[in-house]
Amino acid sequence: MKKIVLLALTLCSLVPQSSRAQGAAPADAAAGGLRFSIMVTKFENHAGYSGQFNLSDTWGEMLTDSLMQTGKFIVLGQEDMRDAAMKEQDFAKSGRVAGGDKAPTTGNMTPAQLLVKGVITNFQTTSGQHGGVAFGGVRLGGGGDSAEINAEIYVVDSTTGQVVASKKVLGSVKSSALSIGFTDRNFSGDMGGFKKTNVGTAMEHAIDDAVAFIVTQIPTLHWSGNVVLVKGNQVYINRGSREGVAAGQTFKVGTSEVLRDPATGETLDVAFTEKGQIKVQTVKEKIAICTITSGDGLANGMSVAPVTP
């Protein structure tokens, strides 16, 4: 058994890793890297797969992690994580736990501006291996393995419920020599080990394609904030470093009006009437302190939006 484990470790070290950057640096806010809060919802499994390996859950975990690694989003926990957080908040209010600064409080959860959902439409893996060894859900050998996964992703504006972007993605891996396959037997949920398999690599390729597409949609989406305090020549807004705001950025301030279809109630556009402009001087996590550079009559509650070139 020790020889098998040693062989596995040696072969794993020879398998090329995904080209996705690990631990990507935060977005350059000064270059316009404003962030949206985003949450991955459960993907539907229409691929006809129902093995021990949970296709939808693993896809969701990997997609959430990949979005986090870009540094371009405020990534929120998936629905089950948020439900668990709310239960802890309710438990803290029950009077059965010790109080203090460590107790979770209500009213502070970050809402998701964007939701990512979709459907996994195809998943298949084949093996052409002859011989080899298998353990812990991973198979190593000298033959060939292939894996393929297809999915459709949708980016939804949580305010309107509208699909603002969609794309079909594909991840596939074909290996004809030394390979690490996936047996779907006794797979313990070890994500690191899973990513080394052909199935994990194929899924990662598809997710990389999905995340790259979502990032390209950022400039087309409506990013906004609000004025929370006007104090002399200073304006405090409810967007900070968490949202990618940086010192030196300029925003327009004014009133916004949602234009709706009178027949369906659907949002058609947002009309913005500019009252003035502000420049960011100091940035904290959730707020930014700005100075008025033009205009007058700026007031609490007004909308804030980026100045387009």
Q: What is the CATH number of the domain that holds 117?
A: 3.40.50.10610
Residue 230 lies in a domain: yes
The pLDDT value recorded for residue 33 is: 66
Co-location of 207 and 232 in the same domain: no
Domain end point (choices 219, 244, 259): 219
The pLDDT value given to residue 176 = 54
Q: What pLDDT does residue 228 have?
A: 96
pLDDT band of 56, cuts 50, 70, 90: confident
Same domain, 167 and 185: yes
DSSP, residue by residue, 171-219: EEEEESSSEEEE--SS----HHHHHTSHHHHHHHHHHHHHHHHHHHHGG
Nearest to 200 by CA among 62, 64, 44, 67: 62
Residue 181 is predicted with a pLDDT of 53
The closest of 220, 221, 254, 217 to 235, measured between CA atoms, is 254
Q: Is 94 contained in some domain?
A: no
What residues make up the domain containing 277?
A: 223-306
Query: Closest by alpha carbon to 114, among 83, 56, 73, 71?
Result: 73
Given 162, 184, 219, the domain boundary residue is 219
pLDDT at residue 285 is higher than 50: yes
Q: 198 and 68 in one domain?
A: yes
100 lies in a domain? Answer: no
Higher pLDDT, 48 or 227: 227
Is there a single domain that holds both residue 179 and residue 151?
yes
pLDDT tens digits along 63-89: 999 999 998 999 988 766 666 666 666
- Segment of 128-132, 195-199, 240-244 carrying the highest mean pLDDT: 240-244
How is residue 31 written in tokens? Answer: 């270059």
Domain count, the chain: 2
Global pTM?
Answer: 0.68
Higher pLDDT, 109 or 49: 49
Residues 72, 20 share a domain: yes
Euclidean distance between CA atoms 76 and 57, whole angstroms: 16
Do residue 273 and residue 128 come from a single domain?
A: no
Tokens of 193: 């080990």
What pLDDT digit, counting tens, does each position of 131-174 carry?
443 444 444 444 457 889 999 999 998 888 888 899 999 998 88
| 118, 11: one domain | yes
Is pLDDT larger for residue 2 or for residue 235?
A: 235
Confidence of residue 7 (pLDDT cuts 50, 70, 90): very low
Final residue before a domain boundary, out of 219, 237, 271: 219
Residues 287 and 143 in one domain: no
**Higher-confidence position of 82 and 289:** 289
Residue 157, both tokens: 């504006």
